[in-house]
């Protein structure tokens, strides 16, 4: 094949300024024209194994087992499956002291948040405490993050509550609603664990950060508006989640506003916002904001009890069931008309909770310079949700607010989750009667304070500066959640993410290149204004793989470049275009449609007496061109290792043709 030729042409008068520096007193080496070589062919199974390995096993998890004894392999396998064995062997009292302090601190936040988020999901408050007991214990054994604090979260609670409530009323059919919540949690866990087991974690990455910023911002506002029911003491409130229905319901029910509830709620809202501000401005005082929710619960309960506020229209939680999590495996709903709803709710809440949990875990792992295995995290979160669905828990994951408190409190290992779960256990066994007089308004205030941090104005403004399309995606998700519904907003977010991927795939960037003075480098004319065109040549850079989805576009776009450059050359009275040089160094892959498009482009250019030259194909592209015989059809003499070599060779050839009689 022509591609395997090692022939070298030497142009003595042109220095290779890209590989050598001009040093006074030294003679410059002549530029050498290298023919591109094709990589050594691989067997089909070998190629398939390598490609699948890169897709599913980029971290090479079996590397640690190489050259190890059987017992050592067994120990490593246990550590891989159960990370607790990895750090547990080195655990000591000093670590326990740090974890105990962290666990007690996050427990003070987890207890009121658990009760509040269960209310957000239209579930009994006790379910929130159940969900803060069993899942953290399971994660402590299976999870790879040292800082992730596990429990219910606002977004997953909101989505589950809004989706299930559309079909089943939690007030009229509480048992069926509870069954669907547990079943959705089970399917969320199955979906999450399956992604981890099959190593398909990259699917979660389709939720881009801009769409998540918009979605979470819109959801945070919806969550806050929903809490106006508790904040104002309204009894009859809309079940819809949109901005307009909620605001209409608020003002229609003005007669139900209770001034006692309003005063109590706004006082504690100001208190929580002030403590939150202190925690953000002075990280060393994190405990102020961490302890504020539990402090609010205690103080508000004492106030309502002392002033007999429940007799003056202030609604309270009432009696909560005492004791451990009752089994709920018999309540899982696997047949009937609502099964599809449970599966859909489970998958959506599973994706959201998984995205949040992994993002939070990786964030704090980077601060402490250790690695979090994404696939193991998916399996850990999935298994804890599956187990939770059988022990009266609903969807849980790593919470950003509790994890931040856990990190600032000095947590060292996942034992902090065990300590938190132990405190929740003591609360469920002995302290439940103390919540009888806790006002509902304080739960609404805690939720509002917690979700305010999800509204990220600075990131949205940064998107506007950096990428207008990302900003549009962010706004679309935001307004979709705010004015239509949470589910539609999420669908818009996913749809825009997919649309952006399709746009980048189907409409890749093609730039015209010019020579940067004083170098042999060729760069975009749009980026480097000093770069100059080469007479009679068009040098184009393709900045994307060439697939069936974009091959026709690239062919048409290149022919358009030819037309535009010919019109420009005629207007400037320059020489006609004789050659197109394609820099495909950024083309990381090509398929059969892409190869056919190159051959069709060559035919179209030949009909116009224009030569097609290719520069710098990567190994994978060169191999496919060789295997498809396109290498011979394109002409091995028209494929060069660098753009500068292609330009020199083509320019010399054109000069030779002009010199012929």
Q: How would residue 46 be classed by pLDDT, with cut points 50, 70 and 90? A: low
pLDDT of 293 > 80? The answer is yes
Q: Beta strands 30-34 and 8-15: pairing type? A: antiparallel
pLDDT of residue 600: 93
Give per-residue pLDDT as tens, 514-539. 999 888 888 988 888 888 888 888 99
pLDDT of residue 6: 39
pLDDT of residue 129: 94
pLDDT of residue 41: 64
Question: Residue 123: which of 321, 288, 259 has the closest Cα?
Answer: 321
How many helices (H) and strands (E) the chain has is answered by 26, 10
Weakest-pLDDT range from 12-26, 156-170, 514-528: 12-26
User: In a 3-state reduction of DSSP, which class is residue 302?
Assistant: helix
Weakest-pLDDT range from 307-311, 340-344, 581-585: 307-311
Question: Residue 144: which of 76, 61, 83 has the closest Cα?
Answer: 83
pLDDT of residue 52: 63
CA angle 467, 473, 476 (to 5 degrees): 140
Comparing 217 with 45, the larger pLDDT belongs to 217
pLDDT of residue 8: 46
Q: Write down the mean pLDDT value for the chain.
A: 84
H or E segment and range at residue 304:
helix 286-307
Comparing 384 with 321, the larger pLDDT belongs to 384
Weakest-pLDDT range from 13-27, 147-161, 293-307, 620-634: 13-27
How many CB atoms sit inside 10 A of residue 7's CB?
10
Q: How far is CA 447 from CA 48, 154, 283, 453, in A?
A: 50, 8, 22, 11
Rounded CA-CA distance 265/442 in Å is 6
Give the tokens for residue 222.
């919806």
Would you give the DSSP letter of residue 6? -
Task: List, in order of start, the domains of the chain with CATH numbers.
Answer: 22-40+507-659 (3.30.750.24), 121-501 (no CATH)
Q: What is the DSSP annotation of 226-262?
A: HTHHHHHT-SS-----SHHHHHHHHHHTGGG--HHHH
Q: Beta strands 30-34 and 611-615: pairing type? A: unpaired
- CB 5, CB 640: distance < 8 Å: no
Rounded CA-CA distance 344/351 in Å is 11
HSE of 384, CA atoms in CB hemisphere, 13 A: 29
pLDDT of residue 660: 55
- CB 195, CB 374: distance < 8 Å: no
Query: Longest Cα pair distance anywhere in the chain, in angstroms?
Result: 110
Q: Identify the top-confidence range among 63-67, 129-133, 583-587.
A: 129-133
- CB 127, CB 394: distance < 8 Å: yes
pLDDT of 243 > 80? The answer is yes
CB-based burial label for 82 (10 Å; 0-12, 13-18, 19+): middle
Give per-residue pLDDT as tens, 340-376. 999 999 999 998 898 888 888 887 887 788 878 778 8
Give the tokens for residue 610.
């224009």
H or E segment and range at residue 46:
helix 44-56
Residues of the chain above pLDDT 70, percent: 88
pLDDT of 279 > 60? The answer is yes
pLDDT of 27 > 50? The answer is no
- CB 354, CB 381: distance < 8 Å: yes
pLDDT of residue 60: 62
User: In a 3-state reduction of DSSP, which class is residue 322?
Assistant: coil
Would you give the DSSP letter of residue 3? G
pLDDT of residue 29: 55
Give the tokens for residue 354.
């998984």
State the pTM of this model: 0.75
Helix axes 93-120, 286-307, angle to 10 degrees: 50
pLDDT of 13 > 60? The answer is no
CB-based burial label for 659 (10 Å; 0-12, 13-18, 19+): exposed
Give per-residue pLDDT as tens, 480-513. 888 887 778 878 877 877 888 888 888 888 889 9
Give per-residue pLDDT as tens, 92-116. 888 899 899 989 988 888 899 899 8
Q: What is the DSSP annotation of 152-184?
A: --HHHHHHHHHHHHTTS-TTT-HHHHHHHHHHH
- CB 57, CB 374: distance < 8 Å: no
Q: How would residue 2 be classed by pLDDT, with cut points 50, 70 and 90? A: very low
pLDDT of residue 39: 65
- CB 439, CB 261: distance < 8 Å: yes
Q: What is the DSSP annotation of 431-490?
A: IGGGGTT-BHHHHHHHHHHHHHTT--HHHHHHHHHH-HHHHHHHHHHHHHHHHT-HHHHH
Rounded CA-CA distance 442/455 in Å is 21
Cβ-based neighbours of 493, under 8 Å, separated by 6 or more = 207, 211, 212, 214, 215, 473, 476, 477, 480
C-alpha of 200 from chain center: 13
Q: What is the DSSP annotation of 57-125?
A: -TT-TTGGGTT--HHHHHHHHHHHH-THHHHHTT--HHHHHHHHHHHHHHHHHHHHHHHHHHHHTTS-H
pLDDT of 584 > 80? The answer is yes
pLDDT of 339 > 90? The answer is yes
Q: Identify the top-confidence range among 151-160, 179-188, 251-260, 483-492.
A: 179-188
- Residue that the structure tokens 């902090």 belong to: 416
Rounded CA-CA distance 64/172 in Å is 56
Region 557-585: mean pLDDT is: 88
Rounded CA-CA distance 120/647 in Å is 66
Region 126-131: mean pLDDT is: 94
C-alpha of 142 from chain center: 22
């Amino acid at each position: 094949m022509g591609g395997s030729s090692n022939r070298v042409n030497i142009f003595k008068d042109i220095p290779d300024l890209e590989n050598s520096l001009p040093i006074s007193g030294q003679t410059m080496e002549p530029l050498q024209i290298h023919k591109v070589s094709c990589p050594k062919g691989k067997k089909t199974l070998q190629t398939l194994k390598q490609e699948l390995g890169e897709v599913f096993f980029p971290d090479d998890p079996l590397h640690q087992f190489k050259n190890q004894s059987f017992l050592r392999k067994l120990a490593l396998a246990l550590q891989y499956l159960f990370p607790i064995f990895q750090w547990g062997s080195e655990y000591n009292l000093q670590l326990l002291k740090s974890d105990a302090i962290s666990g007690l601190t996050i427990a003070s936040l987890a207890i009121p948040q658990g009760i509040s988020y269960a209310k957000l999901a239209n579930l009994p408050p006790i379910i929130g405490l159940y969900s803060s007991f069993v899942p953290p214990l399971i994660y402590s054994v299976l999870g790879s993050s040292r800082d992730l604090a596990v429990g219910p979260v606002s977004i997953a609670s909101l989505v589950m509550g809004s989706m299930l409530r559309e079909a089943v009323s939690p007030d009229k059919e509480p048992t069926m609603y509870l069954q669907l919540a547990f079943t959705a949690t089970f399917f969320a866990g199955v979906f999450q664990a399956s992604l981890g087991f099959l190593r398909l974690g990259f699917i979660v990455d389709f939720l881009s950060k801009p769409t998540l910023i918009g979605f979470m911002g819109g959801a945070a506002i919806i969550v806050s508006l929903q809490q106006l029911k508790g904040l104002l003491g309204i009894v009859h409130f809309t079940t819809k989640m949109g901005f307009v229905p909620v605001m209409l319901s608020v003002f229609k029910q003005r007669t139900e506003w209770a001034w006692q509830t309003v005063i109590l709620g706004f006082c504690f809202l100001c208190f929580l916002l002030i403590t939150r501000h202190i925690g953000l401005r002075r990280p060393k005082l994190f405990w102020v904001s961490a302890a504020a929710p539990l402090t609010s619960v205690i103080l508000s309960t004492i106030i309502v009890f002392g002033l007999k506020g429940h007799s003056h229209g202030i609604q309270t939680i009432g009696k909560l069931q005492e004791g451990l999590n009752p089994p709920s495996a018999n309540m899982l709903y696997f047949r009937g008309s609502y099964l599809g709803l449970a599966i859909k709710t489970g998958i959506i809440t599973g994706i959201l909770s998984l995205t949040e949990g992994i993002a939070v875990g990786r964030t704090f792992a980077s601060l402490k310079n250790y690695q979090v295995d994404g696939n193991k995290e998916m399996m850990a979160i999935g298994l804890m949700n599956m187990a939770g669905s059988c022990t009266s828990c609903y969807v849980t994951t790593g919470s950003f607010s509790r994890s931040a408190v856990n990190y600032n409190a000095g947590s060292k290992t996942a034992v902090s989750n065990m300590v938190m779960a132990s405190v929740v256990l003591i609360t469920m066994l002995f302290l439940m009667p103390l919540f009888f007089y806790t006002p509902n308004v304080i739960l609404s205030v805690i939720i509002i304070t917690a979700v305010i941090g999800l509204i990220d104005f600075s990131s949205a403004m940064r998107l506007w500066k950096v990428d207008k399309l990302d900003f549009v995606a962010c706004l679309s998700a935001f307004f979709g959640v705010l004015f239509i519904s949470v589910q539609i907003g999420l669908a818009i977010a996913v749809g825009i993410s997919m649309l952006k991927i399709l746009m980048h795939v189907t409409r890749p960037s093609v730039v015209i290149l010019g020579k940067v003075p004083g170098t042999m480098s060729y760069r975009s004319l749009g980026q480097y204004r000093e770069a100059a065109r080469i007479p009679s040549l068009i040098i184009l850079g393709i900045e994307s793989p060439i697939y069936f989805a974009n091959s026709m576009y690239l062919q048409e776009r290149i022919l358009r470049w030819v037309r535009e450059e010919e019109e420009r050359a005629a207007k400037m009275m320059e020489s006609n275009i004789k050659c197109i040089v394609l820099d495909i160094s950024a083309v990381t892959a090509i398929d059969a449609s892409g190869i056919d498009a190159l051959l069709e482009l060559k035919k179209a250019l030949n009909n116009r007496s224009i030569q097609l030259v290719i520069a710098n194909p990567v190994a994978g592209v060169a191999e496919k061109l060789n295997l498809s015989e396109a290498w011979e059809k394109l002409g091995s003499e028209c494929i060069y290792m660098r753009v500068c070599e292609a330009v020199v060779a083509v320019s010399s050839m054109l000069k030779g043709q002009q010199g012929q009689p």
